[in-house]
Structure 1
Amino acid sequence: MKSLQNSFVFATAPTVQFGVGCLAQIGTFAANTIGKRCLIVTDRGLVATGIVDQARAALRLCAISCDVFHQVEADPSEATVLSAVSQAQAHEYDSIIGLGGGSSLDVAKLVAFLAGTNAKISDIYGVGKAQGVRLPLILIPTTAGTGSEVTPIAIVTTSADEKMGIVSPVLLPDIAVLDPSLTVGLPAHITAATGIDAMVHAIEAYASASSNNNPISRTLAREALRLIGGSLLRGVHHGDDLEARSQLMVGSMLAGQAFANSPVAAVHALAYPIGGRFKVPHGLSNALVLPHVLRFNAAIAPDDYIEMALSAFPDLIDVPALKRADAFCDALAKLSAECGLPQRLRDVGIDKDSLPGMAHDAMNQSRLLVNNPRPVTEADALTIYEAAW
């Protein structure tokens, strides 16, 4: 158990609005936050579902007009961010709404900041470099996984196979809107991958070596694991189960609050080269390396995994404590398989000859690796990839 006596900072979105169907009331509860002309940042796929039109209609009822930027892609590029910023500045919108998955929310954060401050994106990569007053910002997730609606983090693809992060409290939104009915239409494989992604956020936050690892984050992480562990299979195999969808959405948000303050580590660091090089979705990239990174960590630091195991998998109560960390890793792998996700790197088209290059790329994620409970060398990363292959 970590000491509770160290000083820490915990920051999150000032307001979280949750409720089935609450998107329809967005104009009412957001009217005092946003102006009369906003830009919705989203993707083409979401536009096709009609959800964007629902949001616009709800805003029009409160005399709020809005345009739409719908060019956000998976793993959004710097060029996409700058295109959205250009539209926001040209039309002088007074507020930004991010609507969609983590990519849309990340782009919306940066549009609100860059359009509001006229800063250059090249100047704000890293931690704490984005400073100033952004435009009013509301974030509305349509997946239950990234937790981006309550994190001060935005990830940008800066080259063919590299991602960089921008981390600053100014990226936290004014309001996070959680409407679980927006996730009912998600395909099973997306529900599965985003759910495992949220579990990774909770696990890495709880075990983080960050000096800001704190009792609030750890408490939220364990509750996130309880909610997601108890509802993910129902959400995957019974996609219209609103109770499961609600638990997944709240669990994802809690995990986001946890890792926003107690940062993630080697699972994410090793997942980024998988997504960058092979365009594997982020949640699935995490799922592929998760049990292997945890086994690597648990070999010398098992206590956190022993403590978390029963939150996600109460049935492990029958496993002796000394064996519970290994059982936790096995249970996570089993859950991923039962959700129908690919289990090996080779299953997503990664050849074994690519593993050394991936291990080299993972070492570039020093911002994340420093938080891992066990130091990771390039040789260690290669060993983990080989285990996952």
Structure 2
Amino acid sequence: MNCFSFDTVKQIICAAGSRHQLGEHCKRLGLSHVMFVTDSGIVQYQLHHDALTSLNNVGIEYTIYDQVLADPPDHVILAAVEQATSKHIDGVIGYGGGSSMDVAKLIAILANPQQTQALSDMYGVGNIQGQRLPLIQVPTTAGTGSEVTSVAIVTTGETTKMGVVSPVLYADIALLDAELTTGLPPAVTAATGIDAMVHAIEAYTSVHKKNLYSDMLAKQALVLLDQNLQTAVHEGHNLEARQNMLFGAMLAGQAFANSPVAAVHALAYPLGGHYHISHGLSNALVLCEVIRFNLSHAARHYAELMLILNPAAQGSDMELANQLIDRLEQHILDSGLPCRLNQLNIPEQDLEMLARDAMLQTRLLVNNPRELNHADALAIYQAVYA
């Protein structure tokens, strides 16, 4: 028997141009003054104007917070909450990449007038008390799946990250509008796309909470992402490919929200924390080597994924799993992403530090198909160095 519990957002709207109805959705939730959470790049390129026009059209007031940074530090979140509280907002819109949506989740819980907890009390799994304000998430990249997850990642020191994990953080509405992603540069499209593929793969091979529902989502996500990534990278205005990538990333987000990610993410986080490498690229750098490490314990699952991508593929489980690695490596190369740590000017003497920091990611490492220790982490970093 496959017994499990599955959670996700209340409503998903997947349609090009759907940002134009954002105000109507706010109205339906009974909102009158929302905080619009985004980053300076969205504002600079005016990607938010249609959404704001939609709010204006139905008389929804808004306060824009556009100071979100990649890998958002705790002080950014606290500053946003202070502004939200002073404006007496009654709802939150996350509009941007994963960082903006993560910050929006935490504002929605911390700006609730009934909330007495501090942000520092919420780190970990299931530590949020109380309810959040209404929350709508609008991704502008096809990667993190944050619009449908119950996780928010916070940078708590110079290089350390903590996760806030709670079903309370699931949004009321996730709105997927591919028109918002057509202007993404190829490198960003590639990195976020690989990130979504990692979510699907790690959800499918997770040793904790893997279930029939998450497997179904992970497989469909991986097919969509595999079939559309290169078109989205090289033909950025192909709306069909962009919508498929956005939908695939969302499905992968639903999958890993219920069957959590593992060692790829654990080894990626220190790269982002120390060198400010984007999360998607950090995942891409270690993905294939982590899969090689896991082959002794998860070759069958990787083989199943390969057969989903190419039903005509032949070979033993190990041979099929290696074909999956080859396919992923080709995606990374064809996308033009760097694939070695030394290409990013990371000193080789830092690998020991990276391995040490990766071992702190116990929340993720427990989900890996094969137990991974410090020496293993160091060997993986060394293998992808040059």
Is the pair's TM-score, using the shorter chain for normalization, greater than 0.5?
A: yes
| Partner residue, 1:7 | 3
SS of the counterpart of 1:76?
coil
CA–CA distance in structure 2, aligned partners of residues 227 and 55 of structure 1: 27
CA–CA distance in structure 2, aligned partners of residues 28 and 93 of structure 1: 17
Considering only aligned residues, what root-mean-square deviation do their CA atoms show, in Å?
Answer: 1.1
User: Is contact 2:98–2:146 with CA below 8 Å preserved after alignment?
Assistant: yes
Matched, 1:246 2:250: no
Aligned match of 2:79 in 73, 80, 83? Answer: 83
Provide, for residues 181-204 of structure 1, a one-character-per-residue CA deviation record: whole Å limited to 9, x for no partner: 100000000000000000000000
Aligned match of 1:216 in 208, 213, 216? Answer: 213
| Partner residue, 1:263 | 260
CA–CA distance in structure 2, aligned partners of residues 254 and 335 of structure 1: 20
Alignment of 1:52-131 (within 5 A): 52-116=48-112, 117-131=115-129
Alignment of 1:1-389 (within 5 A): 5-116=1-112, 117-210=115-208, 212-311=209-308, 313-314=309-310, 317-389=313-385
Superposition deviation, residue 318 in structure 1:
4.2
Superposition deviation, residue 315 in structure 1:
7.2
Amino acid at match of 1:158: T
Superposition deviation, residue 310 in structure 1:
2.7
Provide, for residues 127-168 of structure 1, a one-character-per-residue CA deviation record: whole Å limited to 9, x for no partner: 000121111100000000000000000000011111110000
User: Is contact 2:224–2:244 with CA below 8 Å preserved after alignment?
Assistant: yes
Relative distance call for 1:316 and 1:353 in structure 2 (3 A) is farther
Superposition deviation, residue 8 in structure 1:
1.4
CA–CA distance in structure 2, aligned partners of residues 56 and 155 of structure 1: 27
CA–CA distance in structure 2, aligned partners of residues 190 and 321 of structure 1: 33
User: Is contact 1:319–1:327 with CA below 8 Å preserved after alignment?
Assistant: no
CA–CA distance in structure 1, aligned partners of residues 34 and 311 of structure 2: 48
Provide, for residues 292-318 of structure 1, a one-character-per-residue CA deviation record: whole Å limited to 9, x for no partner: 00000013321110001133x327614
CA–CA distance in structure 1, aligned partners of residues 136 and 57 of structure 2: 17
CA–CA distance in structure 2, aligned partners of residues 215 and 245 of structure 1: 27
Residue segments in structure 2 that go unaligned for 5+ positions in a row: none
Provide, for residues 192-220 of structure 1, a one-character-per-residue CA deviation record: whole Å limited to 9, x for no partner: 0000000000000000011x211110100
Residue segments in structure 1 that go unaligned for 5+ positions in a row: none
Q: How many residues align?
A: 383
SS of the counterpart of 1:327?
helix
CA–CA distance in structure 2, aligned partners of residues 92 and 119 of structure 1: 18
Structure 1 moving runs of 4+ over 3 Å = 318-322
CA–CA distance in structure 1, aligned partners of residues 364 and 136 of structure 2: 27
User: Is contact 2:117–2:129 with CA below 8 Å preserved after alignment?
Assistant: no
CA–CA distance in structure 2, aligned partners of residues 301 and 241 of structure 1: 36
User: Is contact 2:314–2:320 with CA below 8 Å preserved after alignment?
Assistant: no
Worse-matched range after superposition: 212-221 or 190-199:
212-221
CA–CA distance in structure 1, aligned partners of residues 249 and 34 of structure 2: 27
CA–CA distance in structure 1, aligned partners of residues 352 and 59 of structure 2: 56
Amino acid at match of 1:49: Y
User: Is contact 1:140–1:178 with CA below 8 Å preserved after alignment?
Assistant: yes
Amino acid at match of 1:185: G
Amino acid at match of 1:241: N
Superposition deviation, residue 321 in structure 1:
4.2
Relative distance call for 1:8 and 1:97 in structure 2 (3 A) is same
Worse-matched range after superposition: 30-39 or 269-278:
30-39
User: Is contact 2:300–2:318 with CA below 8 Å preserved after alignment?
Assistant: no
Superposition deviation, residue 319 in structure 1:
4.7
